[in-house]
Amino acid sequence: MFLIAGPCAIESRDIVMQTAETLQQICERLGITLYFKSSYDKANRTSLSERGVGMEKGLEILQEVKSTFGLPILTDVHESWQCAPVAEVADVLQIPAFLSRQTDLLVAAAKTGKVVNVKKGQFMAPWDMRGAIAKIEANHPLASSPNSLVTSKSIWLTERGSSFGYGNLIVDMTSLVKMRDYGYPVVFDATHSVQQPSSQAGVTGGNREMVPHLIRAAAAVGIDGLFLEVHPQPEKAISDAANQVRLNDVETILKQTLAIEQVIGTKYKG
């Protein structure tokens, strides 16, 4: 299992560097590959509120994380023109859930030759992800390799819950099984799966206490990667304050996940 983790939004250099250092130490102790994640722009906000430090400053901070700790970087792209400059720093370009059907964005991300992590939209069935896969496969440089196939390391598929009425999400664990059948690594995004969209007077709420429970269930089903947004003080975060995991709780959660993984014999597809 690999881990994608970091603060939801880049709020400051200090928070990012502190979180990256702590996560690196935890993952080294546990033998887990870490992809550091944080967003330079939270473009999809419920209201007109803080969005982060912006692309230029954000990429500078992410490059510092990469240079200082030697960590691969994952971050979101929201528009097709962002893909090329972001790919100069990031090792993985993430397609946000609400943009998971945007053809131009998927194509531009694929053309960078980087790994593309597609978050399944809250409105999509797992089999709908075959469309996103096809768009990436048709445009990724590895598609022109001798075997005419994009290797499994070039596309990741992330489950992050499905809309259930208003202001609630549920996780269909069979979605993890179905998406794994497509031959690409499947990631479980535990922190976004406990969101309660627009539930607090125009602000997205959440229930971080449920995160460990959902992770244990997903690990028992079988996942290749785990996605966690973490923060030293989540209640002070500018985004997803109610569902980010406390940095101090990450190691315990990961130990439990690895124990389940060892019992069921999950094998990373990648």
Q: Identity (one letter) of the amino acid at 109? A: A
The confidence score (pLDDT) of residue 205 equals 65
The confidence score (pLDDT) of residue 241 equals 87
Superfamily (CATH) of domain 2-264: Aldolase class I (3.20.20.70)
Which one-letter DSSP state was computed for residue 190? T
Number of other residues whose CB lies within 10 A of the CB of residue 102: 18
The domain segmentation of the chain, as residue ranges, is 2-264
Per-residue model confidence as pLDDT tens for the chain (270 residues): 999 999 999 999 999 999 999 999 999 999 999 999 999 987 765 554 567 799 999 999 999 999 999 999 999 999 999 999 999 999 999 999 999 999 999 999 999 999 999 999 999 999 999 999 999 999 999 876 656 556 667 999 999 999 988 878 999 999 999 999 998 999 999 999 998 876 555 556 678 899 999 999 999 999 999 999 999 999 999 888 889 999 999 999 999 999 999 998 865 554
The confidence score (pLDDT) of residue 37 equals 98
The confidence score (pLDDT) of residue 50 equals 67
Angle between helices 103-111 and 129-137 (to 10 degrees): 40
Residues 6+ apart with CB under 8 A from 6: 16, 19, 20, 23, 36, 37, 38, 229, 230
Which pTM does this prediction carry?
A: 0.92
**Which stretches of the chain are DSSP H helices?**
13-30, 55-69, 83-87, 103-111, 129-137, 174-180, 211-221, 250-264
- The secondary structure of 215-247 as a DSSP string is HHHHHHH--SEEEEEEESSGGG-SS-TTTPEEG
To 5 degrees, how large is the angle CA 51–CA 22–CA 26?
Answer: 125
Q: Cα Rg for the chain, rounded, in angstroms?
A: 17
* Residue 167, phi-psi category: left (phi > 0), alpha (psi -120 to 50), beta (remainder): left
The confidence score (pLDDT) of residue 168 equals 86
